[in-house]
Amino acid sequence: MSMSARPDAELVRAAQAGDTASFEMLYKKYAPVVHSILLGRLPAGDAEDVTQNVFIAAWTKLTSLRDPAAFAGWVARIARNAAKDHRRRSGDTLQLDVEYATKSRQAEAAEAAHALAAIRALPEAYRETLMMRLVEGMSGVEIAERTGLTEGSVRVNLHRGMQLLREALS
Amino acid sequence: MNEEQLQELLSVYRHRRPMPELGQRRAAVLHWWLAAAAVLAIVVMAIWPKNQANWRAGFHVLRAGDTITTPVRIHSRVIGYVDVGANTILRYEGGNRLSLEQGTIHAKTISPPGIFIVDTPRARAVDLGCEYVLSISPNGGGVLRVAAGWVGLNNWGQSLVPQGAKAIIAPDGRLSPPLFEDSAAAFQAAIVRGDLNSALPLARRRDALTLINLFRFATPEERLRIYDRLNELVPAPPGVPRDAMSHWTMTTLEPWWPLVLKASGVSAIKKNKRLR
C-alpha cells in the first residue's frame, strides 16, 4: 500500500489552491483511516456513506486548515465529530452489519459481524488501530504514519487489542 | 482464528469507494440573504417535530423518553405496529427505537429490514422484515419468537432467528442459536444448557439450522461430533470434508449453508424485503 512520497503539507497546500488531484492523493491515503474511525462507531453501511461526507466536508473547509502538516489529525477530528452527529441525527437508520456483510455469504457474514461487534466493544485506542489493521489491511508503519502515533504505540495497541479480541471471540 | 483469517473475514467491510464528487468551496462570507435563510432554517428545525417515525398510541403522539406501562397498541405509518402486553415497561427512545425493560411486545413491521430496533437489557432485536414476540424477564433474560421473516438478536454474540423459530436470551446475555418451535422440548433444553450428548441424537432434519450454528461455539472435538450428526441429516457437499473441521473457520461451512436452510424450510434473508 505504498502512497505518494509527497508530504501531506505539500498535498494540502496544492489542494487548498484548488488542485483536486492532490486532494485525491490525500483521499487515497486517509480514507481507510477515516473509515476505520467511523466503522468503530457506526453501522457498516453508514460508515461508508459518512466517509464520503467527511472528505466532501474536508475539501470544503480545507482553506481553514492553517497548518497543512496537521491534516491527519484534522480529518480524524472531522470524522469523530461526523460520527457523533450522524448517531444523533439518524439513530433510527441503523443498518445491520450482518446484512451489509451478506454481500459475501450468509455464514461468513454472521461471523464477520460478530468479529466487528467484538472490535467495537474494545477501548477506543485498540478499536481504531485494529480496524485499520484487520479491516483495512494497513501495516503498523502505515498506521503510525497516518495517525501520528509512534510505531511502538501502534505495536502495543495491536498486541493488546488482539489479545482482548481473541478473548472476546473465544 | 489468527490475524490473517480475521483480516480475510473482515475484508468485506474494507473501504473501496472512489473519491466523491467535489463541489465548489464555500464562500468565505455569506450573503445577508443566505444568513437570513440559515437563521430561518434553524428556527424551523427547532419547532419542527423531531419524531420522524411518528409513533402514536391512539391519538397521542409519543415523544422520546415516554414510557408505556399499560397494554396498548402503538403504531407508526413507516414502521408498523407494536402491541404492548400487560406488566410491561417499554420506553420510546426516539426515531425507530424502543427499549423493552421487561414484559412482552408483539411487533409487526412494514419497514425495510434493519430499521426498527428494540433494545433489551441484554440484547438488541433488529427487525429484518418480520413479525415477532419478544418477552423479557426482570432478570434481563427472555425469549424472542419469530412468526414471519427474520430477526437479528445481537449483543457481543448474534443469533439470526427465522420464521417459526425462537432464541433464548440467558440472564447473563448469552444467546441461544435459533431453535424451531416444533423441535422436541428435550432437544431445546439440551441446546440451551450446551449438552451435545443429549441434543445431537434428538435433532431432526429441520434442526440442521440449529446444529450449523453450534460450530462456532464448539471445541475441535465437538465440531467433529456436530459434523457427523449434521452430515446424517443434511449430507455435506463435497467442498466440506470432515477433516476440514480441524482447521475450521465459518467460511469452511459456506457451501453447506444453502442446503441447511433448504432442509430447515427457511429462505435466506432478503435485503429490502417488505411485508404486506
Q: Which of B153, B176, B199 is the last residue of a domain?
A: B176
Confidence band of B100 (pLDDT split at 50, 70, 90):
very high
From A92, A104, A106, residue closest to B97, measured CB to CB: A92
Q: Are residues B85 and B58 in the same domain?
A: yes
Domain enclosing residue A79, as ranges: 7-95
Minimum CA–CA partner of B272 in chain A:
A99
Q: Are B125 and B163 within one domain? A: yes
Whether residue B237 is predicted with pLDDT greater than 90 in this model: the reply is: yes
- Same domain, residue pair B250 and B160: no
Query: Rounded to the nearest 5°, which phi and psi values hold at B183?
Result: -75, 165
Which range scores top for mean pLDDT: B41-55, B116-130, B145-159, B228-242? B228-242
Global pTM value: 0.53
Residue B34 covered by a domain: no
Give me the residues of A, 91-130, that contact B with CB < 8 A.
Answer: 91-118, 121
pLDDT at B246: 76
Report d(CA B215, CA B246) in Å as an integer: 12
Residue B64: other Cβ atoms inside 10 A: 14
| Number of domains, chain B | 2
Q: How far is CA A102 from CA A98, A118, B22, B210, B259, in A?
A: 6, 18, 31, 19, 17
User: Are residue A87 and residue A109 in the same domain, yes or no?
Assistant: no
Asked if A62 has any chain B CB less than 8 Å from its own CB, the reply is yes
Q: Does residue A119 share a domain with residue A77? A: no
pLDDT value of residue B276:
29
CA distances from A126 to A37, A47, A59, A132, A152 (A): 11, 18, 29, 10, 13
- Which of A105, A121, A137 faces B14 most closely, judged by CB atoms? A137
Cross-chain Cβ contact A133/B22 below 8 Å: no
Dump pLDDT digits (tens) for A64-91.
888 888 999 999 999 999 988 887 765 4
**Of A51, A101, A137, which is closest to B12 when you measure between CB atoms?**
A101
| Cα dihedral B260, B266, B272, B276 in deg (nearest 10) | 180
Instruction: Judge whether A1 lies within some domain.
Output: no
Contact B269, A96 (CB under 8 A): no
Same structural domain for residues A17 and A90?
Answer: yes
**Residues A89, A141: one domain?**
no
Whether residues B110 and B69 share a domain: the answer is yes
Here the CATH number for the domain that contains residue B96 is 2.60.120.1440
Structurally, chain A folds into a number of domains equal to 2
Is B78's Cβ below 8 Å from some Cβ in A?
A: no
Cβ separation A92–B94 shorter than 8 A: yes
Q: What is the mean pLDDT of chain B?
A: 83
* Residue B108: other Cβ atoms inside 10 A: 19
Residue B89: inside a domain: yes
What lies within 8 Å, CB to CB, of B49 at 6+ separation is B61
- B271 in reach of chain A (CB within 8 A): yes
Cα gap B255→B236, rounded to integer Å: 8
A40 and A112 housed in the same domain:
no
Task: Report how far residue A99's alpha carbon sits from residue A109's, in angstroms, rounded to the nearest whole number.
Answer: 7
The reply to whether B104 falls in a domain is yes
- Going by pLDDT thresholds of 50, 70 and 90, the confidence category of residue B183 is very high
Based on the domain organization, do A146 and A82 belong to the same domain? no
Chain A environment of B117 (Cβ under 8 Å): 92, 94
One domain, residues B231 and B133: no
CB-closest option in B13, B152, B269 to A116: B13
Residues of A in contact with B271 (CB under 8 A): 99, 102
Tell me the CATH number at A46.
Answer: 1.10.1740.10
Same domain, A14 and A74: yes
Residue B204 lies in a domain: yes
The values of phi and psi at residue B106, to 5°, are -120, 120
Both A115 and A156 in one domain: the answer is: yes
**pLDDT score of A49:** 83
In this model, does residue B142 exceed pLDDT 50? yes
The grid coordinates listed for A83 are 460520527
**B7, B14, B15: which to substitute to probe chain A, counting the most A Cβ within 10 Å?**
B15
Please give the C-alpha separations between residue B32 and each of A63, B37, B39, B40, B43, in angstroms, as whole numbers.
22, 9, 11, 12, 17
Query: Is a pLDDT exceeding 70 seen at residue B33?
Result: no
Q: Write out the residue range of the structural domain in which residue B252 sits.
A: 185-276
Q: Does B7 sit within 8 Å of A134, measured CB to CB?
A: yes
pLDDT of residue B130: 85
Q: Is A141 on the interface with B (CB under 8 A)?
A: no
Q: How far is A73 from chain B (nearest CA, A)?
A: 19
| DSSP sequence for A11-77 | HHHHHHTT-HHHHHHHHHHHHHHHHHHHHTTS-HHHHHHHHHHHHHHHHHHGGG-S-GGGHHHHHHH
Q: Is the ipTM of this complex over 0.85?
A: no
User: Do A54 and A87 sit in the same domain of this protein?
Assistant: yes
Q: Is residue B4, in this structure, part of any structural domain at all?
A: no
Would the pLDDT of A18 be above 50? Answer: yes
Q: Is residue B38 part of a domain?
A: no
Q: Are residues A11 and A90 in the same domain?
A: yes
Distance to chain A for B133, nearest Cα, Å: 20
